[in-house]
């Protein structure tokens, strides 16, 4: 097992000390040997990955003989979440209703990774249709936290988090609708980034909540995540919400003069005391390193999660309307109406049904104004509150989650308890701003995540702050033994 | 709060078992009670935005894209049921 950074892999390949083929063979062998106990991967794309590697090795040989540049991610193995389309491969969103779904085109993120020389190693486990905070609602398998296999890995992108945390791949993609990259990153002790709304194309990603979804990155360092985002980000004509804004380079990391806002509402009663201590220690360390700590108040914070659990089920129930066994999935017998009802009844898991029912109820006549319209108004106010705060600070700091990874099965019968795990991450999706979780120590022998938020389109500030924190700490160099 | 589970399931095109209905009848009111705390926020002075994207009036040319046979066949093969190179569905009108 190796915990390489992207840069070290690229250097090894460019220098000729190793080949892309050797890296891919070792990665595939490692996954076969160790992932049985963790369940991060649903499938590895052995033949395509080896073919991609051979093509990279040919490029390296040609560059050596005739000169020329190599693509920026030449030979870097990447894992993708099971809701991202990769031509010719299954993409099921870990939902029974898409069990037989094979992608007929590439998602933009996969297309751009391949064009940059990255190698798509395999697809990872996730919650059913990305609904869940523990990866336990997956229709296919369980994924276990590599720090303690009796614990959940977080979710919904739990497989991708574990793929990086366990050292299988240096980087993996996830999607973050309410914290589905940052929360599992925190639980597994890796970096997880959710970009601002519009900075990465969602074309070819199986949609959950279209005004909330963003593609995110798992890695060991903020600078590795920044490198990946510079490749996958930017305008895409296939996603009308994507914006024309190149990713800036992360400069020399420094805490000096960084204005860090600490909102008191993110340090709530009932949060784990050890988690609170780790965050306080991190704040103290940043202060000593020259950061200016600014006490903030964001009074609407307690309303972010209720806002989210109106908007997200409403959008999910609309987005999932297309899964009726007609164009995708398995056709159920009967008349048109019977076929719809049966295909959906048999294909969706309990959490998905719950959210479709909630969303349908919320959008139904008589309830639309009091739930959905009200939530949109509060959402507007939450965004305004953040915009105001970012006039005074560069980044906002908070815990990523109120506790550490919990026991497998613990919250499966209490949806509200499960939803509360996302209490500190949903605001970034509600407001469309940037967020990153980075490791900041341990509580109860499990990783703790610290979150930096930055204003809309100011993602580089969050990455810069994270890189600065990582330059004065070594939590990201600690790895589980599995 | 009492929710007409059968009515909502019908709107959502969802077949639910008796057990699922019982569970939802318990869980949905609990979740709705939790989200109802939004009523505490005074939003009378807010002019609500529906979205926060920086993109504005995104348009593209309305061109017909011709796909090749391989792509065409891949799409047809991906359908759950197809016939004569097209998607086959149950009759919409009786």
pLDDT in tens, A230-244: 999 999 999 999 998
- Does residue A346 sit at the B interface (CB-CB below 8 Å)? yes
Classify residue A280 as left (phi > 0), alpha (psi -120 to 50) or beta: alpha
CA atoms within 13 A on the CB side of A421: 30
H/E element, A158: helix A158-165
Chain B partners of A307 at a C-beta cutoff of 8 Å?
Answer: 35, 38
Higher pLDDT, A416 or A226: A226
- Give the count of domains, chain B: 1
Q: What is the pLDDT of residues A148-157, one digit of tens each?
A: 999 999 999 9
User: Nearest Cβ partner of B49 from A307, A346, A380?
Assistant: A380
Does the pLDDT value for residue A248 go beyond 90?
no
pLDDT at A260: 98
List the single range of A64-68, A107-111, A287-291 with lowest mean pLDDT. A64-68
Evaluate whether A110 touches A84 at the Cβ level (below 8 Å): yes
Using a 10 angstrom Cβ sphere, with 0-12 exposed, 13-18 middle and 19 or more buried, the burial of residue B41 is buried
Name the β-bridge partners of A449: A439
Contacts of B15 in chain A (CB under 8 A): 341-342, 344-346
Rounded to a whole number of angstroms, the distance from the CA of A434 to the nearest CA of chain B is 13
- Residue labelled with tokens 């659990």: A309
Residue B31 lies in a domain: yes
What percent of chain B lies above the pLDDT cut of 90?
A: 65
Neighbours of A60 (CB within 10 A): 20
Residues A362/A209, Cβ–Cβ less than 8 Å: no
| CA separation for the pair A156, A172 (Å, rounded) | 14
Average pLDDT estimate for B68-86:
91
pLDDT reading at A278 higher than 80: yes
Handedness of CA A399, A403, A409, A413 (dihedral sign): negative
Residue A262 confidence (pLDDT) above 50 = yes
Which of A69, A164, A172 lies closest to A117, judged by CA? A69
Residue B59 has a pLDDT of 87
Q: Which of A12-16, A43-47, A280-284, A453-457 has the lowest mean pLDDT?
A: A12-16
Chain A residue numbers with beta carbons less than 8 Å from the beta carbon of B48 are 373, 376-377, 379-380
Where on the phi/psi map is residue A456: left (φ > 0), alpha (ψ -120 to 50), or beta? beta
Indicate if the pLDDT at residue A115 is higher than 80.
yes
Per-residue pLDDT at A268 exceeds 90: no
CA dist A477 and A475 (Å) reads 5
Rounded-to-integer distance, Cα A178 and Cα A316, Å? 12
- Across the interface, of B20, B38, B60, the residue whose CB is closest to A353 is B20
* A375 close to A311: Cβ distance less than 8 angstroms: yes
pLDDT at A339: 95
Instruction: Among A335, A342, A416, select the one facing B30 at the smallest CB separation.
Output: A416
The least confident of A158-167, A393-402, B45-54 is B45-54
Check B9 against A357: CB less than 8 A apart.
yes
ipTM attached to this prediction: 0.93
**What DSSP line would sit under A305-354, residue for residue?**
HHHHHHHHHHHHHHHGGG-SSSSSS-PPSSSHHHHHHHHHHHHS-HHHHH
Q: Which helix (H) or strand (E) holds A441?
A: strand A434-443
Specify which residues A450 forms β-bridges with: A399, A438
Q: How far apart are alpha carbons A458 and B52 in whole angstroms? A: 14
- Catalytic residue ranges of A: 81, 156, 180
3-state secondary structure of A192: strand
- Helices (H) and strands (E) counted in chain B, each on its own, are 3, 2
Inter-chain CB proximity B89 and A336 less than 8 Å: yes
Chain segment A180-207, per-residue pLDDT in tens: 999 999 999 999 999 999 999 999 999 9
A45 vs B: CB within 8 A: no
Task: Give dist(CA A299, CA A167) in Å, integer.
Answer: 40
A383 touches chain B (CB under 8 A): yes
Lowest mean pLDDT, pick from A278-292, A428-442, B7-21, B61-75: B61-75
Written as one string, the DSSP assignment of A103-153 is -SS--HHHHHHHHTT-EEEEEE--SGGG--SSSTT-SS-----TT-TTB--
A396-425 mean pLDDT: 93
Say if B73 falls within a structural domain. no
- DSSP of A10-39: HHHHHHTSS-HHHHHHHHHHHHHHHGGGT-
Mean pLDDT of A462-468: 97
Residues of chain B positioned with their CB less than 8 A from the CB of A426:
none
Q: In which element (H, E) is residue A111 found? A: helix A108-115
Residue A375, token pair as written in the block: 């939530």
Domain interval for residue B22: 1-40
Q: Contact, A276 vs A309, CB < 8 A?
A: no
A104 contacts chain B (CB < 8 A):
yes
User: Hey, how many other C-beta atoms are within 10 angstroms of the C-beta on A58?
Assistant: 11
CB pair distance less than 8 Å for A376 and B48: yes
The alpha-carbon gap from B40 to the nearest alpha carbon of chain A, in Å, equals: 9
DSSP sequence for A38-78: T--EEEE-HHHHHHHHHHHHHHHHHHHHH--PPPTTTT-EE
In this prediction, residue A10 has a pLDDT band, given cuts at 50, 70 and 90, of very high
Answer yes or no: do B87 and A348 touch at CB < 8 A.
no
Q: Which chain A residues are within 8 Å of B46, Cβ to Cβ?
A: 377, 380-381
pLDDT band at A415 (very low <50, low <70, confident <90, very high): confident
Please name the helix (run of DSSP H) or strand (run of DSSP E) that holds residue A356, with its range, or none.
Answer: helix A350-362
Region A1-482: CATH code: 3.90.1300.10
Contact: B39, A457; criterion CB under 8 Å: no
Q: Mutating which of A210, A306, A346, A457 best tests the B interface, going by the most B Cβ atoms within 10 A?
A: A306
- Residues of chain A with pLDDT > 70, as a percent, come to 100
Please give the share of chain A, as a percent, with pLDDT higher than 90.
91
pLDDT of A113 > 90? The answer is yes
B36 contacts on A by Cβ (under 8 Å): 306
- The partner residue sitting opposite A380, judged by closest CB among B34, B39, B48, is B48
**For residue A2, pLDDT beyond 70:** no
Closest Cβ–Cβ partner in A241, A354, A364 for B24: A354
**Dist CA B86 CA B82 (whole Å):** 6
Q: Where are the domains of chain A?
A: 1-482
Instruction: Choose among A43, A84, A322, A77: nearest CA to A180.
Output: A84
A350 with B20: Cβ contact below 8 A: yes
Q: Look up the CATH number of the domain holding residue B7.
A: 1.10.20
Cross-chain residue pair B38–A303, CB shorter than 8 Å: yes
Mean pLDDT over A292-301 rounds to: 97
Could you give phi then psi for residue B57, rounded to 5 degrees?
45, 60
Better-predicted residue by pLDDT, A8 or A284:
A284
Contacts of residue A332, defined as CB under 8 A and 6 or more positions apart, other chains included, come to: A325, A338, A339, A340, A341, A342, A343, A346
Q: Which residue of B has its CA nearest to A355?
A: B28
Taking 70 as the threshold, does the pLDDT of residue A4 lie above it?
yes
- Contact list in A for residue B13 (CB cut-off 8 A) is 321, 324, 337, 340-341, 344
Nearest CB neighbour to B14, from listed A100, A337, A345: A345
**Which pLDDT value is given to residue A1?**
45
């Amino acid at each position: 097992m190796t915990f390489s950074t992207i840069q070290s892999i690229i250097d090894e390949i460019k220098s000729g000390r190793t080949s892309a083929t050797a890296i891919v063979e070792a990665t595939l062998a490692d996954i076969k040997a160790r992932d049985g106990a963790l369940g991060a991967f649903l499938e590895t794309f052995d033949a395509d990955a080896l073919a991609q590697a051979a093509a990279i090795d040919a490029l390296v040989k040609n560059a050596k003989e005739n000169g020329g540049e190599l693509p920026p991610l030449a030979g870097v193995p990447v894992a993708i979440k099971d809701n991202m389309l990769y031509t010719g491969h299954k993409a099921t969103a870990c939902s029974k209703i898409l069990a037989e779904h094979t992608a007929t085109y590439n998602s933009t993120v996969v297309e751009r990774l391949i064009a940059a020389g990255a190698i798509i190693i395999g697809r990872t486990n996730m919650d059913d249709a990305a609904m869940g905070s523990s990866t336990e609602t997956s229709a296919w398998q369980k994924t276990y936290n590599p720090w303690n296999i009796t614990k959940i890995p977080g979710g919904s992108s739990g497989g991708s988090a574990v793929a990086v945390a366990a050292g299988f791949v240096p980087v993996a993609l996830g999607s973050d609708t309410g914290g589905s990259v940052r929360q599992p990153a925190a639980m597994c002790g890796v970096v997880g980034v959710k970009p601002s709304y519009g900075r990465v194309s969602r074309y070819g990603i199986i949609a959950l909540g279209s005004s909330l979804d963003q593609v995110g990155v798992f890695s060991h360092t903020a600078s590795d995540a920044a490198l990946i985002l510079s490749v996958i980000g930017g305008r895409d004509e296939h996603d009308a919400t994507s914006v024309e804004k190149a990713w800036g380079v992360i400069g020399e990391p420094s805490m000096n003069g960084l204005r860090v806002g600490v909102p008191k509402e993110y340090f709530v009663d009932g949060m784990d005391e050890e988690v609170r201590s780790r965050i306080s220690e991190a704040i103290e360390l940043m202060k000593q390193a020259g950061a200016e700590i600014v006490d903030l108040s964001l009074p609407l914070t307690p309303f972010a999660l209720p806002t989210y659990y109106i908007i997200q089920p409403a959008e999910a129930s609309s987005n999932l309307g297309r899964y009726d066994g007609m164009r995708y999935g398995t056709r159920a017998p009967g008349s048109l109406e019977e076929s719809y009802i049966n295909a959906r009844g048999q294909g969706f898991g309990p959490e998905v049904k719950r959210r479709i029912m909630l969303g349908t109820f919320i959008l139904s006549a008589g309830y639309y104004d009091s739930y959905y319209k009200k939530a949109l108004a509060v959402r507007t106010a939450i965004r305004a509150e953040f915009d105001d705060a970012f006039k005074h600070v560069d980044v906002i700091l908070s815990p990523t989650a109120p506790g550490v990874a919990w026991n497998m099965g613990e919250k499966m019968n209490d949806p509200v308890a499960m939803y509360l795990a996302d209490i500190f991450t949903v605001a970034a999706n509600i407001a469309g701003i940037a967020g990153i979780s980075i490791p900041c120590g341990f509580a109860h022998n499990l990783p703790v995540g610290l979150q930096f938020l930055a204003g809309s389109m100011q993602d580089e500030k969050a990455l810069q702050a994270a890189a600065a924190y990582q330059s004065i700490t070594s939590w990201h160099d600690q790895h589980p033994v599995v | 709060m009492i929710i007409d589970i059968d009515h909502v399931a019908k709107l959502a095109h969802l077949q639910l078992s008796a057990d699922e209905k019982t569970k939802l009848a318990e869980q949905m009111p609990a979740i709705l009670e939790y989200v109802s705390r939004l009523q505490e926020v005074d939003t009378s002075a807010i002019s609500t935005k529906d979205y926060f994207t920086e993109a504005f009036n995104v348009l593209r040319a309305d061109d017909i894209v011709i796909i090749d046979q391989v792509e065409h066949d891949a799409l047809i093969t991906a359908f759950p049921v197809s016939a004569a190179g097209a998607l086959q569905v149950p009759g919409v009108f009786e």
